Structure formats: C-alpha cells, structure tokens
Amino acid sequence: MLHAVIMAGGSGTRFWPASRRRRPKQLLSLIDRPLLRATFDRILPLVPPERIWVVTTAATAAATLELLPELAPQQLLAEPVGRDTAACAGYASHAALRHDPDAVCAVLPADHVIGEEESFRNVIAAGAELIGRDGGLLAFGVRPTRAETGYGYLKLGEGRAEAGAWTIHELERFVEKPDAERARRYLDEGGYLWNSGIFVWSAAGLLEELRRQLPELAAGLVRIADAMGTPSAESTVAEVYPDLPRISVDYGVMEDATRRWVIPVDFPWSDVGSWPALRELIAADEDGNAVHGPSVAVGSANNLVYSDGPVVALAGVRDLIVVATGDAVLVVPAEQAQRVKEIVAELEARGLDDVL
Amino acid sequence: MLHAVIMAGGSGTRFWPASRRRRPKQLLSLIDRPLLRATFDRILPLVPPERIWVVTTAATAAATLELLPELAPQQLLAEPVGRDTAACAGYASHAALRHDPDAVCAVLPADHVIGEEESFRNVIAAGAELIGRDGGLLAFGVRPTRAETGYGYLKLGEGRAEAGAWTIHELERFVEKPDAERARRYLDEGGYLWNSGIFVWSAAGLLEELRRQLPELAAGLVRIADAMGTPSAESTVAEVYPDLPRISVDYGVMEDATRRWVIPVDFPWSDVGSWPALRELIAADEDGNAVHGPSVAVGSANNLVYSDGPVVALAGVRDLIVVATGDAVLVVPAEQAQRVKEIVAELEARGLDDVL
C-alpha cells in the first residue's frame, strides 16, 4: 500500500522573523494555509490519514498535531533532535513497515509549494506503481530553468521503464549542489533535473540501503524499531536518536544506491528557499508589490511585504523585503536577503532569544 | 507671579505610526520621557504646579493627567476641539487671571525638544521680569542655521531693553513661513530669528490684544471665563469653544500687536517637526544609525529606527526611516519622510481606523 512520509523537521532561519525556533517554516502560512497543512491536504486524496506519517521535532510536535487534527498521535514521529533526512526517512520506514510489510512510501518535504495538485498525485501514483513492481529508489526531478547552485541535480540515464502514462528513467548520477560553472554546464547540456526532495521507495528497500550504506544509522534505527509499541518506545528514541549519524538521504543513500530511478515532473514546484523566492509565488499588484497581510504603499514598487498582523506602510521604496510580526520587523533589499542569517547570528550574540 | 501655560493640544500625523489620534506627538517618548512630561519638568524649578496650566484636547485629557500626577485636575484645561493657539492662549489667560490678577504667562509648546534647561529657565525668568515691568508681548527667537521655510521669522527692531543679563529687542516685524528665496534672504541679511513658539506676556495684556484684534474670539472667551468655577463651566466650554475663530497667536495676535519684544535665545531648540528632525536629535552609532528601541543592524548606515517594542532588524539599507509599533510599521527614505501624510490619507481612505 502507498504511505506518505511528510518530513516536517525543518528549522531554518531564512524566514526570520516570521519563522522562529518554535514556529519553523513549515508551520507558516506563506501563501494561504501553513505549508505543512497544504502538503497534507495535497496527498490526502491519494493516501488516507492512517497511512500518513509525519516526522517532526519534539519542539513542534504539539503545533503539528493541532494543525493536522485528522492525524492520530501515533502517526506523528517526533525526533528529539533533527538528524537530517536519512535518519528521518529510516525512522518513518520502520514505523510504516510495522503496519504494512509491503509499504511503499512517498517522501514529501513539508515546506515546499506545489501547484497542479492533480498532476502531482498522478505522478506520485505512477512512481508508486513502478516501485511496487520493480523496486529501487525513485527521485522526482524538476526541469531546471536557471543555473541554480542551491539544488542537487539528477542526471537522466539511458534505461527506461513505464508506469501509467509516465516514462521513468534510470538515474545515472546524483550530483550535490554544483558551483556556478557546473550548474551552467548542466543547464546547457540538458539531461539534468533539479532534485525536488520528493522520493518514492519501499520501506523495506530504503532500510536495506541504510543497512548497506549506513550500518551505524541502520543499527540505531533497529533499536528504535524494536521498542516501537512497547513502554520503552519513547525512552529508546530519546536515548538512541541524538547519536544517529547526521547525513542526508541525498548524500548518504541516493549517491550510491543500487537501483535508482528518476521521473521528470511538470507540476509547478518551489522549495521557497528564501524571502525572494516567496515573492515569485505571490501575485504582485500593478506596482509589482507582492503583499501578504495588511499593507499600504505609496510610490513604492517591487517590494515583498509579509505581515502576520501589523499594518505595513511603505512610501517611496523599491525592491525591499519588509517582514513584520507583532514583536519583530525585518527590512532588507531583496538582493541581500541572505543577510537574514547575519541578523539571526547578531540576535543570538546579543541574547535576544525572545524573538528567535 | 509667573505662570506657565503648556500648549498640549497638538494632533499631527507626521509621527505616524508612533503617534495616533489618541496618542499625539507630545505624549511620545521621542527622546527619553514623553515630550509633554519633559516640558513640564523643564519649567518646574521656576513655576510650581499650582501655577502651571496645561491646555489639551478632551481626547488626551486622561492620558495627560496620568502623565502629570502633580497637576491638580482644575489646572488642566481641556478643549472640546482644537481651535489653534489664539483660543488656547486666551483660554489659559482667563484661567490664570482668575487666580492671579498680575499673572505673567510663559507659553510653552508641549512637543519641542530643548537643551541646556538652566539657560532656558534663566531666559524665561528674564522675559518675565521685562513683561512684568514694561508690558507687551515677548517672543523667543532662535538663531537660524539654514534657510528654513517651515518656521515663522522674527525681525529684530532697533529698540532695546535690559532684563537681568539679557538684552531684549523690540520686535520690528513678524513674518509667517516664507518661501525659499525670502528665507535665504533673511539668513543672508541677518537680524531675523526663527519663531520658537515660546512667548511671555501678562494674561491681562494678551486678553487686551485679543479684545482689540479678535473681538469675536475675545467675547467667546469671556463667556467661558464668566462660567469658570460655576456648575455650568463645562457645558459653557462645550457650547462656546467649537465656534471660536480658528487662528494662531502668530497670525492673529503677534503680527499686529501694539508692543512687541523678541529675545534671542541660545539654548538648543528643535520643534522636532518630522522623523528626520528626530534623527538629528538622537546620537547615532558608528554607522550613523540613530536608534530608539530594540534593534539590530548589519551593513546598514544612516538610518533612523524608532520602535516602541518590536525588535527592528536592518540589513543592507541606508538612509531609511523605519518605525515599528506592535500593530503598524513604516518604511520610508528619510528624504521622502513627508510622504507619511499620504500614508495616513490612504489608511483613512481604506478605513483602517484601528491604526490611526
């Protein structure tokens, strides 16, 4: 049966001040609903709640359950601390496998924005059909539109397979974030796709790859799995999880997996990696201002305004990102949005933890 | 005896979003204390509370009394609606006169910033000495440092008088806000001072000028004065005050007063007429950022940050004014600060009264 694993353990700072330690990006309503809620709703027509597993951190577990009332508490897997996606995927695979020895898992980042949801579900279903039939690990690739250095790339191989109306390629190579020159070459050569972070694999197949490639991680997860459903489940996770190797599925599994597939997808996709990326997703007014929340602007153009309450008033400014919450405000030119990291570092250095 | 009349009826929009309809500029702690409190504290060593009269609007009466607990409620004169400074000064003159037929009044705007307070009090005392001895209306003039078009100008006359260590000039001419060319000429010619809005006159002397120059206003004020201390005092003010002619002391009284003086003052003075004017008064950090309230800045210079609570974070911006309250945020380049009026008009048009 098809299960969904929603990876909701993110804790970045790129959306400060909207995002906080206890309110990471996936809980923010960057477009309409909280991104996690949108991810849940998107897969729901294909996978019922009792086969959806949400992996999150202890700090956001309560907020996550509140956001997803359909989710039974035992479907929520809380990591005591984040140990990157290989641990997360393995943890969820064990949970799914306990309920369904034939579980095929669609692994979904909780904090992406995806359009054409019908198309999204169709391609997930096709991927699940392939994996159920032929096995292996399937990555979902997005056609690149620019020489982006922030994503991993998937090189399409020669071999093909069919699933439903889709042609699925063997994955020849998995390349982590390239430099600008290589990104440019990939774009020019063709045959490379962006790694969307979405995967389909069987729970058993993923765990087999972990055993082979990351034996220490696999052993730790077996201890956790053995305790599942027993009174010591929680204490075992608390004891074992923090010491699991910290590595991503991309580096730790996909780069050297035995049987790998990639499916090119056509649905609109964004990982919304920054405030400027959000600006691209919000319909702008006639002056090019993309606005979320109450705002007035005079003589101002091409700004992003994001407010979760305060009225933001702009006069005579261009190309700014202005973010306002009740207790913190950010003002930065769009082209320097990455400096929010410096801001967060400065707030930490000054002990302003109330707004972190 | 010397009385003080603090004119605290202001209700501008130039300090939005810090200022609101119910929290006008004089109630804001633009520097350290609320400006009204600072004005009160500044005159207190010279004039005891029982001879201080504070004229304010009904909307801010409660907040004003809370800010000035030393002030007996009967010393607070609440205007049902603002009718400009001639009515305000006349109203306070009647109140002072009822208690003291020889009252000399130092009239003080509540929303200015003044330094060297000892010097300020010395020159007020000297002015009071002159007026008590020679009569007339005395204006306080600030030496101009630029061809400012936002102030009235006072032309020094030939005649002189001495009071204490001060030389006081006859006022030859009172000129309301000039255009740029005339302002430049005044600066070049010399002999012109900015009108600070501070005056000293006897209560009886001012009322005599009102009778002569503004008989309708004077008659209305007499009705109010006749009801003072009677059960109908409040209702008389409510009935008469709104119909009083709306005119300033500058235009309505000083331009044609019979006997006028001007004293050049040397204490640091600012009417803090705008956010950029406030920037000049706040000591800037090494990057030229003037900051009031919690803030962090990276790669940012020459900004004014004013927050009454939220942490304001700037990255990579210059010459901006950023003002944050819990429910509203303003971002505007300093050189376009006057556009806050457009913002307020837009908020009104859109019915966003909660933040006005």
The pLDDT tens digits for A188-242 are 999 999 999 999 999 999 999 999 999 999 999 999 999 999 999 999 999 999 9
- The CB density around residue A256, as the number of other CB atoms within 10 Å, is 12
Across the interface, of B317, B336, B346, the residue whose CB is closest to A296 is B346
* pLDDT, tens only, A269-309: 999 999 999 999 999 999 999 999 999 999 999 999 999 99
Chain B residues with CB under 8 Å of A342 CB are 298-299, 315
Here the tokens at position A310 are: 């305060």
Q: Do B298 and A343 touch (CB under 8 A)?
A: yes
Give the number of C-alpha atoms closer than 13 A to the C-alpha of residue B212, restricted to the C-beta side: 13
Rounded to a whole number of angstroms, the distance between the first and last alpha carbons of chain A is 41
CA neighbor of A140 nearest in space, from A108, A111, A93, A118: A108
User: Considering only CB atoms, which chain A residues are within 8 Å of B320?
Assistant: 317, 331
Nearest to A311 among B312, B314, B355 (CB): B355
Condensed to tens digits (0 to 9), the pLDDT of residues A37-77 reads 999 999 999 999 999 999 999 989 999 999 999 999 999 99
Residue A316 to residue B333, Cβ atoms within 8 A: yes
Instruction: Check residue A340 and give its pLDDT.
Output: 97
Q: Which residues of B touch A320 (CB under 8 A)?
A: 317, 331
State the Cα–Cα distance between residues B293 and A311, nearest whole angstrom: 19
Does A346 sit within 8 Å of B328, measured CB to CB? Answer: no
Q: Residues of chain B with pLDDT > 90: what percent?
A: 95
pLDDT by residue (tens digit) across A254-274?
999 999 999 999 999 999 999
Distance, CA of A206 to CA of A210 (rounded, Å): 6
Report cis status (omega within 30 of 0) of the bond before B17.
yes
Q: Which two tokens stand for residue B49?
A: 């509370």
On chain A, the residues whose CB falls within 8 A of the CB of B353 are none
Contact B332 A312 (CB under 8 A): no
Which alpha helices (DSSP H) does B103-165 contain, by range?
117-134
Residues of B in contact with A355 (CB under 8 A): 311
Residues from chain A that touch B314, judged by Cβ atoms under 8 A, are: 331-332
Using alpha carbons, select from A87, A88, A9, A7 the residue that is nearest to residue A52: A7
Q: Is the dihedral of CA A181, A186, A187, A189 positive or negative?
A: positive
User: What's the farthest any 2 CA atoms get from each other in chain A?
Assistant: 63
DSSP for B174-225 reads: EE-S--HHHHHHHHHH--EEEEEEEEEEEHHHHHHHHHHH-HHHHHHHHHHH
Instruction: Please measure the distance between the N-terminal and C-terminal CA atoms of chain B and give it in whole angstroms.
Output: 41
Torsion of CA A237, A238, A241, A243, to 10 degrees: -140
- Predicted confidence (pLDDT) at residue A10 exceeds the cutoff of 90: no
Task: Tell me the backbone φ, ψ of residue B156, rounded to 5 degrees.
Answer: -70, 135
Q: How many CA atoms lie within 13 A of A142 on its CB side?
A: 23
- Distance between CA atoms of A31 and A293, rounded to whole angstroms? 10
In 3D, which of A130, A254, A136, A263 has the Cα closest to residue A204?
Answer: A136
Chain A residues contacting B via beta carbons under 8 Å: 16-17, 294, 296, 298-299, 307, 309-317, 320, 322, 324-333, 336, 339-340, 342-343, 346-347, 350, 352, 355
Q: Say how far apart CA A87 and CA A220 lie, in whole Å.
A: 9
Cβ neighbours of B296 in A, within 8 Å: 343, 346-347, 350, 352
If you measure CA to CA, which chain B residue comes closest to A319?
B317
Q: Is the pLDDT at B165 greater than 90, yes or no?
A: no
Per the CB < 8 A criterion, the answer to whether B265 and B141 are in contact is yes
Q: How many CB pairs under 8 A join A and B?
A: 135
Count other C-beta atoms under 10 Å from residue A194's C-beta.
23
* Contact assignment for A326 to B346 by CB distance below 8 Å: no
Instruction: Please indicate whether, in this complex, the C-beta atoms of A339 and B316 are within 8 angstroms of each other.
Output: yes
pLDDT tens per residue, range A151-192? 999 999 999 999 988 999 999 999 989 999 999 999 999 999
